[in-house]
Structure formats: C-alpha cells, structure tokens
Structure 1
Amino acid sequence: MSGYSIMLDLKGKRVLVVGGGKVAERKIQGLLEAEANVTIVSPSLTSKLVRHTEQNLCIWHSREFKPEDTMDAYIVVAASNSSEINQAVKEACKPHQLVNIADDPAGSSFHTAAAFKRGLLTISVSTSGASPSLAVRLRRELEESYSQEYEQFTYFLFDVRKKIIESSLNSNQKIKLLQEIASDSFFRAGNWEDEFNKLFH
C-alpha cells in the first residue's frame, strides 16, 4: 500500500469502533488522546474499556454491529475478533469515510502509526500494516533518543517562531534564524531564551 502521511485533527469528530477486545482497546486509547468522540459497538468490552464508558469517555452500544452504525462517522475502525464482521463494517462504509480494518491492512484506507509525543513534537513509525510489532519496537528506540526535555523545547520554539515571523528581519534572515534555533547545537546549549536573545538582537 502506498501511503501519504498526515496529521488529522480529530477533536470532536465522531469515530466508530466495532469491537471491544484488546485490539480495539489499543486503537481507542489513541483516539481518546486525539479527543475524538468515540462510539463503540460490541457485545462485550475489556475491563479498561468498561472504565472508559463509566467515565463517559466513550459511548457504548452493547450489541452486534449494524450497517447504519457507520452513518456520520468521520473514521471507522473495524477491530472485532471476526473477519466476517470486519468486512461487513468495510462494506457498510461510504467512499469518503476513512476505514481501518485490524485484520486486513491491504483492505484498509489508512493505517495507524506507533507514535509518541514530546510536547508539540509527534514522532510516529509505520510499517503500513506489515508489522505493528516492529513499529512499536522502533518507536521505543526513538523514545529513548528524544528526552522529555524536548517537550519544553517545542513550546519554546512555538513562542519564538512567532516573534521571528513578526519581526522586521528580511526573509533570508528569518529562515537562517529559524534553522539555527532548531539545530542540535542550540538545543544542547540550554538556556534557550538567553541564547535566542543573543541571536535575535
């Protein structure tokens, strides 16, 4: 499957997840972190998903899937333990809907990546469904390379980028300064505000 990597804003968007097992649980965790409005259709749930519904983090319909469940869903995730049900979910979706089928990567219109965040920085790894386990292993290796300090660094960069763009510097000066403050040497120097002021003034 050829892919085009994007970041989707799912805040407030309706997402349907069919299935209530461990696979669905992993999918739902990422969706909740993205602040999506998650609806689960499944006769049963894992204990963790039950807690999510009790805390009103998800809406749960305790029954089998119906084709009309996909209506108005921005994203649909078929993660039941039945390939037949998962395919029925896919067939019920409209062409414009994004569909992920847990046991049929080739038949999915998108794949989720193994990702982690450091403030405003998101790093993700995808094998296009070939090996989620490999993606998870590589994500863990990357997590060790990018410390929690990057969380503060990304917020710092967000603030000073606005100052640079709104400044009277010419285009070349702005580009050079933006590149310099994003460099590894600048990050390792620490005291970012002081270092920036030396460069900016």
Structure 2
Amino acid sequence: MLRKLPLLVGAAFLLTAGPAFAHVGAGPVDTFSHGFMHPLSGIDHVLAMVAVGLFAVNLGGAAIWLVPSAFVGTMMFGGALGYYGWPLPMVEAAIGASVVVMSLAIAFGVRLPTIAAMALVGLFALFHGHAHGTEGMGLGVSFLPYAAGFVGATALLHIAGIALGLGLDRLGNMPATILKRCAGTAGAIAGVSILAGWLAT
C-alpha cells in the first residue's frame, strides 16, 4: 500500500481539470472569529484535519502529537508563503487531494514511519496554509488575528480527530477497524466529490 500512495495522489489531481476556487477571497479576513470559523465552515478543511488526527492515532506513540504538529507548523509556513506572494501550483487541487489521500490512508490502515507521515501531512498542509495566507496579502498586522483563529481551529479539529480515533479504539479492535474503514471510505468519496466539483466547500 505504501507504494500506491504516490499513485493515489496523482489520481486525485487528475480527477479534476478545473477545481472550484473556494478559498481565496472567501470573506472577511481581519478578525479572530472569522479565522476561527473558516476551517469549521468548509467540509474540505473539516475532513482533512480530522483525518490527520485519526491517521495519527492509527500510527500510535509519538505520532499522535508529532503528525498533527507537523501539519500545523507547515500550514503556518505555507501561510507565510501565500501572504508574501510566493506562488504554488494547483493549490485547490492539492487541498481536495489531501481529503482523498488522508481518507484512503485511514480506510486501508496505512502505517507509515512517523517521519514519513509527518512529511505527507506537511505536504498537504503547505497548500492549505498557502490558500489562506494569500487571502491576507497586503493586509499587514490586521491579518494576524484571522491567522491565529485559523490555526487555533485547525488544532482543535486535529484534537477532534484524535479523540475520535481513541474513542473508536476503546470499542475493540474489530469494531474500531470496521468503523475507521467506513469513515475513511466516506471521506475519500467526499474528497473525490470536492475535486470533481460535485460538493461545494
């Protein structure tokens, strides 16, 4: 399955030739509350960030906090790139692909070394951050409260995914595995729908 991850990423990008640009210019970007609510109001953000937490639980050990931390840290770096106008290709497609790939990793029970898992989620986090850093270009310090709210909500969504994973594990190995696979499959279907433009974000 590890060898198939690059193919899954590529397939996710090819599912759409023209993704909907749902992130740039999505509304006010100058208050903490707007920043906090933005990740909670987009299904792509909710699915991707909860999936990161659930994926981290599947890996266990230090990965439970290292993998989400890698996402948040790299997202902040990507936000800085967007804020200062450094371009990245296929940002919207990468955000949709993050939902598909992370969900499939859960559905298939993919277990990566912690460093590799951090690199994978970090790659997607770069694009998530860039999309929203671009929204703040030219706003100066007035963008900082929005960015802080966005980061805070992202961390809480990761925590929700971790709590979900730990809660499912308490049900026993077989029920937890079945429910995680169902959740991963549903997330992957939603991600494909986002990429194809069938599901609004």
TM-score band (shorter)?
Answer: under 0.3
- Answer with 1 or 2: which has the greater Rg: 1
Q: Which has the higher helix share?
A: 2
Where relative contact order (Cα < 8 A, 6+ residues apart) is larger, the structure is 2
- Relative to the length of structure 1, the TM-score reads 0.23
